[in-house]
Structure 1
């Protein structure tokens, strides 16, 4: 006789999550559930919700790498359970970090002897790298002021108003005054002349950006260095420079080798770079390199031995994964100078294609520069009927994530859109983006004309009434709904 048994709800979920009770029940969002659920159901439910995220490849707001070769993906997964801080247990990973530090230091023209090791460390990203570099500058400045018997309680740092928010965090967290050089329309990076004017005896360093987040432009580090040398001679100070090369550090050496911005300039004492941007590694890796050992105060380095051996460490966090460090080493040896050069040249050429496509529309002003990070920042010639934020919002319907934002003081009246060209953004995608932008402009033109026509009709009927902002918004929403509905009825299935 054949015995049969009824499958339990647990058994059903193993075979088909969608045939189980777990897709009928709302799972807790802010408090742990009392009971467990099968692994298949947990995976499927989370995977389904993540489908609502944007496509990383189409996220043109981000500088962060969104594609790597499958071989590197495998190396990262194989090392995902390694804690980098356990240097004694994972000595090879530690060695790979040291190799990366030295390769990057040589790339930045650090003044190293034949067998001299570079001074640097891998970080979670450029934010941590900037915190560490800033702390080194602050401590060196304080030590010198103490030795001279001078006040050391009011350090400041000079930057442009275009700096990334991590600089504001550093100043806030570590009690350093942030002295910003204001921008102006048409000039969206730090003016070296004005920056040097802001320098005083309490300035721990001047921070220059190699690749502004706003428009990708490289700041003139060479001019800043020369002006600061002259001021130091006149005042007797020794104000140094830090270069925030988060975006441009893996670009300039390969396609702008003649550009002097790195350790070739004597006042550049430290440089940070993001491995997870144009270093071509997934998010979670940055690097900070110091010119010499003397530029990193010894008292900031901690020595621990409770993981099996004496281990020097200079980081804000403790534990971190090894995967990104291994991935960075993979990219450095896999691509070599030639490979990185080809990737960056491709990015630059695709940025040119996008820029030329936008210029052909006759609808945009290009505010990015030809020399800099391969991105295209642009604004509408005429934003009286609709603005850059509406263009950005409409592009999301096609899957594109293109940010719109206002410039910092004193250029906050300027609004731009920005497209970052990464390794995985091909010419085909650039041409497609231009096509979709043209479609968006056409639709916004049509929508704007309908709103204007309705206002004229109301005016002719003598019903002109001053509307509140809410009433105006509702009117636009109503017209927009009708416009979208009309388009839907035209679709042939």
Structure 2
């Protein structure tokens, strides 16, 4: 169901099922996708430079990502010997969305993947994965590389698919409809209505991607693959997610997202309209607006007011009420 929601291509090469896994939150999903990309890059780099396993294992790949990344990727860098190459978004001009040129400019021969964030956790803006796809395909063709995209849709995976279905403006293709998107992770417990600790990862294909993290198990006489970091886990997450998907369906999730966007738009307008006694706006809104973004509102106190308190002071005051 989720593979189809995100437009994964049908299974090929004799495979019967789509390729992915349920995970403990989107952090595990990100780590699994990162490992698949790392092993895929290692295999390619070894062949390109005629290296031994020992030689290629001593070379650290890098991952290109916006500085608005979530903590899961910090764990990827620390735990799995991956270097970070950052692209820096412009807070005011691009509303914290990193530019496609800035991301692709960081790519080199040791880049195992580019991560695009579908709704960063600072202000909900989508990275332009559709533009990154175009530029990355051109770079790969020019250099003879095979760098792909991982879409970190921790929040947007259960928002973006339901935007633009009722006549309102929706995002451009952002998922497996783009050739460079090789993997996608999402959190079921953010906007997916699932239980806490529910995550998902879906791969474009098994060959030279998901197969790198698949471990064959035959404990009960049959054969199955395990792709997760831990083996035993509660079934609560997948069951609750399945129930919500069946109960709400496309129409239910679409209505939910539309309502959330309307609430966010109401709050955004209210904050924009608030004035200081000087007549200047009290807040500076920093999110992506009313369409093609997460249903969140991000703002800061207008720095032009030069007040004797800042956003943190206001946050503390509100938390005391």
8 Å CA contact 1:269, 1:290 repeated in 2: yes
8 Å CA contact 2:163, 2:257 repeated in 1: yes
In the other structure, the counterpart of 2:6 is 108
- Whether 2:258 is the aligned partner of 1:368: answer no
8 Å CA contact 1:210, 1:243 repeated in 2: yes
Q: Distance in 2 between matches of 1:374 and 1:198?
A: 30
**Correspondent of 2:91 among 175, 178, 185:** 185
Q: Distance in 1 between matches of 2:240 and 2:306?
A: 44
8 Å CA contact 2:32, 2:213 repeated in 1: no
- Structural mapping, 1:92-131, within 5 Å: 103-112=1-10, 116-131=16-31
Provide, for residues 91-136 of structure 1, a one-character-per-residue CA deviation record: whole Å limited to 9, x for no partner.
xxxxxxxxxxxx1111111111699521110000110000000000
In the other structure, the counterpart of 2:119 is 211
In the other structure, the counterpart of 1:135 is 35
In the other structure, the counterpart of 2:128 is 220
Unaligned segments of structure 2, at least 5 residues: 165-169, 276-281
The list of structure 1 runs, each at least 4 consecutive aligned residues, that deviate by more than 6 angstroms after superposition, is none
Q: Distance in 2 between matches of 1:295 and 1:349?
A: 43
In the other structure, the counterpart of 2:279 is none
**Correspondent of 1:387 among 301, 310, 320:** 310
**Correspondent of 1:234 among 142, 148, 152:** 142
- Structural mapping, 1:59-458, within 5 Å: 103-112=1-10, 116-148=16-48, 149-150=50-51, 152=56, 153-186=59-92, 187=94, 188-256=96-164, 259-306=172-219, 309-362=222-275, 363-370=282-289, 371-381=292-302, 382-398=305-321
Q: Distance in 1 between matches of 2:152 and 2:266?
A: 28
Q: Distance in 2 between matches of 1:351 and 1:364?
A: 15
Deviation at 1:233, TM superposition (A): 1.3
Structure 1 residues 144 and 297: CA distance shift in structure 2, 3 A: farther
Deviation at 1:295, TM superposition (A): 4.6
Deviation at 1:293, TM superposition (A): 1.6
Q: Distance in 1 between matches of 2:67 and 2:16?
A: 37
Range that drifts further, 137-146 or 341-350: 137-146
1:249 is paired with a residue whose SS is helix
Q: Distance in 2 between matches of 1:258 and 1:156?
A: 29
Higher share in helix: 1
8 Å CA contact 1:140, 1:297 repeated in 2: no
Structure possessing the higher relative contact order (Cα contacts under 8 Å, 6 or more residues apart): 2
8 Å CA contact 2:90, 2:98 repeated in 1: no
8 Å CA contact 2:198, 2:238 repeated in 1: yes
8 Å CA contact 1:139, 1:297 repeated in 2: no
Give the structure with higher Rg (CA).
1
In the other structure, the counterpart of 2:167 is none
Alignment length (residue pairs): 296
Q: Distance in 1 between matches of 2:300 and 2:122?
A: 12
Range that drifts further, 179-188 or 152-161: 179-188
Q: Distance in 1 between matches of 2:237 and 2:274?
A: 41
Deviation at 1:332, TM superposition (A): 0.4
8 Å CA contact 1:160, 1:191 repeated in 2: no
8 Å CA contact 2:203, 2:210 repeated in 1: no
Q: Distance in 2 between matches of 1:226 and 1:395?
A: 44
Unaligned segments of structure 1, at least 5 residues: 1-102, 399-493
Q: Distance in 2 between matches of 1:348 and 1:145?
A: 44
Deviation at 1:308, TM superposition (A): 5.9
1:373 is paired with a residue whose SS is coil
Structure 1 residues 383 and 305: CA distance shift in structure 2, 3 A: farther
8 Å CA contact 1:269, 1:295 repeated in 2: no
* TM-score where L is the length of structure 2: 0.88
Deviation at 1:183, TM superposition (A): 2.8
